[in-house]
Structure formats: structure tokens, C-alpha cells
């Protein structure tokens, strides 16, 4: 077996494996459903059931979906975040290394905080105590209103 054949075989196995994982993810695991805004699709994974049930009981059910609070409001940022979150959720779920209850990463916390401020901008502008970045970070929507989006 020559080196060129070995390189092609390794490349073929890698590409075939990536295609198989992609087909499995988008067809069997319903990966395509994550492209929509339907909150029910976030509950495809059982570890999200508690958050989905809490959202159905919460005050945001009629005005916001998961994407409104957990992805940036621009199209590119939204789908980049969905791709990243989807990959890591799949990875942790597949390897059975996820944390229960599921927790926000620091990046997700920042996105959610920005979403609160985006939708409630008039109210937030009226209560923000300082334009100093240090003090602005001390005022956190999530710190005081943690259960608003997911009433438990």
C-alpha cells in the first residue's frame, strides 16, 4: 500500500464519517427542526423539558420564544449561536457529560442579558444607575428576574 492510497483512504473515511454524522443529526435527530423558532423543538432533547414547561407557565410565553431570549437579534449572530449551541448540546448529550439542570454558559448569559435589555430598553434606560461599565455590569436582569422566562 503506497502513501498516496493511505492518505486517500483516511480522507475518504473522514469525509464519509462527517457525512454520516451530518445525515444522522439532521434526519434521525431532527437537526433541521432547530432552524425554526418553535420552542417545542428546543424540547426535542429531554434535558430541556423543564425549561420548556417553565416557559409555558411563564409570563413570556405569549411574547417571546427561546430564540428571542437566547440568541442575538441579528440573523448571522442568531444562526451562529444556534449552530454553536446545537453542536455543544449534541456533544454533551451524546457523550452523556451534560450538567443537570442545564446551565447557561457565560456567553449565553451575556446574550440573554442583552436580550432582556433589548426588549425592555425603555424600562432599563430608566433604571440604569451609571454609564460606567463596571457599575452597569452590576445591574443584572437575570440576577433579580431569573425565573421570569422559565417559571418553575
pLDDT the model gives residue 98: 84
Kindly give the residue spans of alpha helices, DSSP state H, lying in the chain: 3-23, 39-42, 49-57, 66-70, 75-94, 106-119, 121-127, 133-138, 141-144
Residue 130 is predicted with a pLDDT of 60
Smallest CA-to-CA distance from 45 within 30, 35, 65, 27 is with: 30
Q: pLDDT tens per residue, the chain (152 residues)?
A: 789 999 999 999 999 999 998 898 788 878 788 888 999 888 877 788 888 999 999 889 999 999 999 999 999 999 999 989 888 888 888 898 988 888 889 999 999 999 999 999 988 877 766 666 666 667 788 888 888 888 76
Residue pair 150/48 in contact (Cβ under 8 Å)? The answer is no
pLDDT tens-place string over residues 50-66: 889 999 998 899 999 99
Per-residue pLDDT, 93: 84
CA 80 distance to own-chain centroid: 10
pLDDT of the residue at 136: 60
CA dist 33 and 38 (Å) reads 8
What pTM does this model have? 0.75
Amino acid at each position: 500500500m503506497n502513501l498516496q492510497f493511505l492518505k486517500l483512504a483516511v480522507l475518504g473515511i473522514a469525509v464519509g464519517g462527517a457525512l454520516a454524522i451530518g445525515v444522522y443529526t439532521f434526519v434521525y435527530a431532527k437537526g433541521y427542526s432547530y432552524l425554526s423558532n418553535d420552542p417545542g423543538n428546543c424540547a426535542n432533547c429531554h434535558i430541556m423539558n423543564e425549561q420548556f414547561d417553565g416557559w409555558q407557565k411563564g409570563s413570556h410565553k405569549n411574547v417571546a420564544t427561546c430564540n428571542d431570549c437566547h440568541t442575538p437579534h441579528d440573523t448571522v449572530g442568531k444562526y451562529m449561536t444556534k449552530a454553536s449551541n446545537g453542536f455543544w448540546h449534541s456533544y454533551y448529550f451524546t457523550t452523556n457529560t451534560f450538567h443537570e439542570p442545564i446551565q447557561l454558559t457565560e456567553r449565553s448569559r451575556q446574550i440573554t442579558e442583552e436580550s432582556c435589555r433589548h426588549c425592555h430598553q425603555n424600562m432599563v434606560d430608566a433604571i440604569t444607575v451609571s454609564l460606567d461599565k463596571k457599575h452597569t455590569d452590576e445591574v443584572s436582569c437575570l440576577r433579580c428576574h431569573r425565573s421570569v422566562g422559565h417559571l418553575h
